[in-house]
Structure 1
Amino acid sequence: MKPNIGITDANRQAVSEQLAKLLADEFLLYTKTRNAHWNVEGPDFHSMHLFFESQYEQLDETMDSVAERIRQLGHYAPATLKGFLQLTHLAELTERNNDSLGFIRELLADHESIIEFIRGNINPFANEYNDLGTSDFITGLMEEHEKMAWMLRAHLK
């Protein structure tokens, strides 16, 4: 059954398409953060293993909320690796050594890329697509990514 929530079908479609890209970005970042958790090495292994775990757990919740928002708008969330790789703005892991600083730099760049993508959609969602709810929703996601990026950035000099 189609949602009757005061947003046209075309606008719900357009917003859902952008959210699908965001979900793909979140999934790829989640996977890269899991990789860092599993494969980090060095004298800071234990603390970084726990740090990356806290970050991927937060990203897991974020992914779920983005997928659920897509469903609230009456569309299906992408849910295949192939689909995510086609939709994402991010690149798969490029760091080839397993030191924490390399992982941190790469993850930080991805968070910042997602922040920019989200920031670029806040006003269009509200003003062009008449979807203040999703605009507010992604504003909160942007703030979460800003905090996670700050936590990563704090490890760098």
Structure 2
Amino acid sequence: MTKARKTSKTTAIPSEGLRIDIGISEKDRAAIVKELSKFLADSYTLYLMTHNFHWNVTGPLFNTLHVMFMDQYSEEWQALDEIAERIRALGHYAPGTYAQYASLSSIAEPKNVPDATEMVQLLVKGNEAVAKTARAALKRADEADDAPTADLLTRRLDVHEKNAWMLRSLLQ
């Protein structure tokens, strides 16, 4: 029986053949991956919260919120793969367990099922948290001249800022 190998959030892939030579140093790639791992954790936590709220929303805005939450979690789900694949392209393993996400995420999960208004408030805060995490990662990517990561993060920022605006509009 082989022992499972533990990997940290920024564990580099062992060199097996060709070294990665994309014009970004290993040190810079590791720093970018550290930030992308936090971004992936926040994104996954927000995805899970949004899906949970989709299942459990009640009240007069049920249909509106149920559909809106589904649109948002479906889009978020697709983005998770792109983020993880960018981490892999930079030569590191992507975090992929609940324990890793819990230790990396800046988003606190609710302890119970909130009412519809609180769900919206929590999702506004969650989208804003993801945007802040994206900005920190974007700064690191820009410093290393990592255009593909910067592009990914810029696109994600647009989505999360728009989601926060739309959700916030429901509270006014």
Q: Above 0.5 in TM-score? A: yes
Question: Counterpart of 2:88 in structure 1: which amino acid?
Answer: R
Decide which of 127, 141, 144 is 2:156's aligned counterpart: 141
Question: Identity, % of aligned pairs?
Answer: 37
Q: Give the match for residue 12 of structure 1.
A: 29
**Larger CA deviation: 135-144 vs 21-30:** 135-144
Is 1:79 aligned to residue 96 of structure 2? Answer: yes
Unpaired runs of 5+ residues, structure 2, are 1-17
Q: Give the match for residue 115 of structure 2.
A: 99
Decide which of 48, 67, 85 is 1:31's aligned counterpart: 48
Unpaired runs of 5+ residues, structure 1, are none
Q: Give the match for residue 75 of structure 2.
A: 58
CA 147–79 in structure 1, closer or farther in 2 if over 3 Å, else same? same
- Asked if structure 1 preserves the Cα contact closer than 8 Å seen for 2:51 and 2:73, the reply is yes
Question: Counterpart of 2:53 in structure 1: which amino acid?
Answer: A
Give the total of aligned pairs: 155
Is 1:120 aligned to residue 144 of structure 2? Answer: no
- Asked if structure 1 preserves the Cα contact closer than 8 Å seen for 2:39 and 2:137, the reply is no
- Asked if structure 2 preserves the Cα contact closer than 8 Å seen for 1:40 and 1:99, the reply is yes
In structure 1, distance between residues paired with 2:114 and 2:133:
28
Deviations 1:82-127 (A, max 9, x none): 1110111111125x45432110000101111111222233233212
Is 1:110 aligned to residue 134 of structure 2? Answer: no
- Asked if structure 2 preserves the Cα contact closer than 8 Å seen for 1:16 and 1:70, the reply is yes
In structure 2, distance between residues paired with 1:52 and 1:108:
12
Question: By how many angstroms is 1:29 displaced?
Answer: 0.5
- Asked if structure 1 preserves the Cα contact closer than 8 Å seen for 2:31 and 2:140, the reply is no
